[in-house]
Chains A and B, each alone.
Chain A
């Protein structure tokens, strides 16, 4: 796999305050990389450095295998939504896209962007209302127009900073499935959020930022950490309880629910518990690891982060 975006040692300092500590970040071809962390953790600063809006104090950025030069030419292959979408309110949605399509870039880029306007309006479901002035757009419509704008240049990398901000649950779900669909079509995505559910459900990999540092990186599954609770579904609950009482490093949590027991294990593996049951003559119908939610993992990671921004 090749990285569409690779940042090394990316750092931003304002005087004595370090907004982003040296950070390595890579987005691989075709993946959705979730960038999560509380507000003020340095996500937006990092994204703005990647997009050339803020110059890094130190570090390097490679896009599509080449260093991002001072002309930021590689950005023509990138679509971006940075914080909230912004438009010229006195222009219609369609004309906003038209002017953005005409602005900058090479002539052939401009032509292909102009041709894509109707397509991207369709993709985000705004084709019917695009002639209204943007000042009359609802928050959800503006957000969708923002995504349309990001898709205008047929990007290979999509950078979405808080794309579901201000959306209702339906809107969030729509954006998530839109982004998932785009990634399935081969697009690479860097998406930031302070909402974890969002990241957990659509991302292939996640980086957690706190206090200007990337504190963890991995698949959502790996970040959850090993599960320390299991639910045991057995044939004879009373016998199982007796057997468990004789084991060290396992504890029953709460009351049994029907044939199910919830166990907290500490030092034993689920396999040890299973073996004890089978040897004691108890049928084990099911053994279900209870996933620690990414939310819990996240709060563990960022709980020491009290650096205000």
Chain B
């Protein structure tokens, strides 16, 4: 079932448009910085790493990840999860899968796994395109950390990959929320929008200092924690929080999604 889902996704134009949109981010950044190098330090509210691209091509991959995460990756997560079951229901194919028979739990888990694999692939696209574009436009060199030390190339690329891995893992929480919504409706667009909105609102709330008490309960809590990988020594605490929150949301919402889908009458 997992393989069928991946094969289906790869034959959809939508998947490739999404990959193209995500791949364009590091490319656009690199081109823009090449054409007009920033003369003054970027303002404080610019995404971290963005201003550094002009000095080192490695930053393109890292900045690509940082920019892609809050918007494009959030939309992608909402899409793969919100559309997962509801999309099949809306197309009418859900009933044909279920009478094959494909077990209901198995279908939900396969959809979750293939969605996560898709998101992982999008992260890989960002890193690879960022590295290639960065290497073509600028020098690749040792990476300065946020703490002032430097990382050699291999170490730096390793940490960029680790950042991508972390980003993918912490998507699991919102993907699981999307799976629950998707398992309970036949409206694919509605489920997708709901999942995207939850992801984005959660990220906004996580930025509002006065809501600090709420932060540990937000499904996107700790998402930006990957920056800790570029400190010396590595700051693990935010990433531990992020993984913990994501896993908790995954367990609860996937269990609810499976239970709710197993009991549901399929009228579509």
State whether B8 touches A104 (Cβ < 8 A). no
Q: How far is the CB of B85 from chain A (nearest CB, A)?
A: 14
Give the interface centre of A78, A85, A87, A88 by most chain B CB atoms within 10 Å: A88
The answer to whether A75 touches B100, judged by C-beta atoms less than 8 angstroms apart, is yes
Of B4, B11, B100, B266, which one neighbours A54 at CB under 8 angstroms?
B266
**CA separation between A153 and B96, bound complex, in Å?**
12
Distance A103 CA – B106 CA, assembled complex (angstroms): 10
A53 in contact with B101 (CB, 8 Å): no
CB–CB B1/A84 < 8 A: no
- Among B4, B92, B100, the most chain A Cβ lie within 10 Å of the Cβ of B100
Q: Does A125 contact B (CB under 8 A)?
A: no
CB distance from A53 to the nearest CB of B (A): 4
Residues of A within 8 A of B8 (CB): 88, 91, 99
Binary interface profile of A, 120-146, with partner B (CB < 8 Å = 1, else 0)?
Answer: 000000000000000000000000000
B interface residues, how many (CB within 8 angstroms): 25
Known: A91-B8, A99-B8. A78 touches B103 (CB 8 A): no
Check: B98 CB closer than 8 A to any chain A CB.
yes
In the assembled complex, the Cα of A105 lies from the Cα of B107 at a distance in Å of 12
List residues of chain A with CB within 8 A of the CB of B97.
Answer: 100, 103-104
Evaluate contact between A103 and B91: CB separation under 8 angstroms: no
- Cβ of A82 and Cβ of B95 under 8 Å apart? yes
Contact yes or no, A55 B265, CB < 8 A: yes
- Closest Cβ of chain A to B7, distance in Å, is 7
Interface residue B207 (Cβ < 8 Å from any Cβ of A): no
Which chain A residues border B92 with CB–CB below 8 Å?
A: 83-86
Interface of A is mostly: loop
Report if B93 contacts A (CB, 8 A): yes
**Whole-angstrom distance between the Cβ of A82 and the nearest chain B Cβ:** 5
**Which of B93, B95, B96, B97 has most A Cβ within 10 Å?**
B96
Shortest CB distance A147–B (Å):
12
**Contact at B11–A91, with CB atoms within 8 Å?**
yes
Select A103's contact among B4, B13, B266, beta carbons within 8 Å: B4
Check: A48 CB closer than 8 A to any chain B CB.
yes
CB distance from A25 to the nearest CB of B (A): 17
CA distance A51 to B99 in the complex (A): 6
- Inter-chain CA distance A84–B268, complex, in Å, is 11
| B interface footprint on A80-96 (CB within 8 Å = 1, 0 otherwise) | 10111111111100010
With a cutoff of 8 Å between Cβ atoms, the chain A residues found around residue B7 in the complex are 99
Question: Which B residues lie within 8 Å of A75 (CB)?
Answer: 99-101
Interface residues of B in 181-212 (CB under 8 A from A): none
Given the known A-B contacts A90-B13, A91-B8, are A76 and B101 also in contact in the complex, defined by CB atoms under 8 Å? yes
Hey, which chain B residues are within 8 Å of A88, CB to CB?
8, 91, 93
Select which of B1, B11, B99 is within 8 A of A78 by beta carbon: B99
What separation, in Å, do the CA atoms of A3 and B122 have in the docked complex? 52
Min distance, Cβ B108 to any Cβ of chain A, angstroms = 13
Interface 1/0s, chain A 45-69, versus B by CB < 8 A?
0001001111100000000000000
Shortest beta-carbon contacts, A-B, top 3: A86-B92, A104-B102, A75-B101
Chain A residues with a Cβ under 8 A of chain B:
48, 51-55, 71-73, 75-76, 78, 80, 82-91, 95, 99-100, 102-105, 149, 153
Q: 22 A-B pairs, CB-CB below 8 angstroms?
A: A48-B95, A48-B265, A52-B101, A53-B98, A72-B101, A73-B101, A75-B101, A76-B100, A82-B95, A82-B99, A84-B92, A85-B92, A86-B95, A87-B91, A87-B93, A88-B8, A88-B93, A100-B97, A103-B1, A103-B4, A103-B100, A104-B106
